[in-house]
Amino acid sequence: QVQLVESGGGLVQPGGSLRLSCATSGFTFSRYVMSWVRQVPGKSFEWVSDINSGGKNIYYADSVKGRFTISRDNAKNTLYLQMNSLKPEDTAVYYCYAAYYRGSDHDPAYEYWGQGTQVTVSS
């Protein structure tokens, strides 16, 4: 059974930090591209960051670049997101997303989502 379980969300003041974790099981984590995606209620999903299977290729949305750091531990099957200098506009539910691509395919052959963790940035 595939599981992606996010943790580490909560309430933080502007300028503060949080570290999100996504513990996974039931699939070969080390072969998947992993991403963080967020959603403000009533709005569409916003891609935040992703990291390739080996951890060498990393990308960030402009809105979080320089403040957030994505990382992964393939030995622990866990994805992380270190969030610093948080702003009220970072308030959202943060989801962990796993995607497996075959060769040069653009669409994932397999994909999984976590249940999300709430991050609220407010004074």
Tokens of 64: 């979080």
- Residue 40: name the closest of 99, 105, 101, 87 by CA: 87
Handedness of CA 78, 61, 38, 17 (dihedral sign): positive
- Residue 2: name the closest of 109, 80, 114 by CA: 114
pLDDT attached to residue 106: 86
How far apart CA 53 and CA 110 sit, in angstroms, is 14
Tell me the CB-side half-sphere exposure of residue 35, using CA atoms within 13 A. 20
pLDDT attached to residue 42: 87
Residue 117 has pLDDT above 90, yes or no: yes
pLDDT attached to residue 62: 97
Residue pLDDT, tens place only, 85-115: 999 999 999 999 999 999 888 899 999 999 9
Residue pLDDT, tens place only, 49-97: 999 999 899 999 999 999 999 999 999 999 999 999 999 999 999 999 9
> For residues 89 and 41, which has the higher predicted lDDT (pLDDT)?
89
pLDDT attached to residue 60: 98
By DSSP bridging, strand 10-12 and strand 117-121 are: parallel
State phi, psi for 43 to the nearest 5 degrees. -120, 170
Q: Residue 3 in contact with residue 25, Cβ under 8 Å?
A: yes
Residue pLDDT, tens place only, 14-26: 999 999 999 999 9
